[in-house]
Amino acid sequence: MKTKTTVKWVLDVLMTITLLLLMGYQFWGETAHEWIGAGMFLLFFAHQLLNRNWYRNLFRGRYTSVRVLQLIINLLTLVAMLALMYSGIVLSRHVFAFLPIKGGLMLARQLHILGSYWGYLMMSLHLGLHWSMVLGIIRKKTGIKNTSRIRSGICFAAGLLIAGYGISVFVRRDFPLYLFLRSHFVFLDYEEPVFLYYVDYVALMGTCIFIAHYLSKGFRKLSKKKGDSK
Question: Is the pLDDT assigned to residue 22 strictly greater than 80?
Answer: yes
% of the chain surpassing 90 pLDDT: 73
Q: What length is written for the chain?
A: 230
pLDDT tens-digit series, residues 102-146: 889 999 999 999 999 999 999 999 999 989 888 887 888 788 878
Look at the alpha carbons of 121, 125, 131, 134 in this order and tell me if their dihedral is positive or negative: negative
If phi > 0 it is left, if psi is from -120 to 50 it is alpha, else beta; for residue 207 that is alpha
Q: Rounded mean pLDDT of the chain?
A: 91
Beta strands in 118-173 (DSSP E): none
**Banded pLDDT at 1 (limits 50, 70, 90):** low
If phi > 0 it is left, if psi is from -120 to 50 it is alpha, else beta; for residue 61 that is left
Are 9 and 50 spatial neighbours (Cβ–Cβ below 8 Å)?
no
pLDDT the model gives residue 226:
66
pLDDT the model gives residue 228:
57
How crowded is residue 33: how many other Cβ atoms within 10 Å of its Cβ? 19
pLDDT the model gives residue 121:
97
pLDDT tens-digit series, residues 58-68: 999 999 999 99
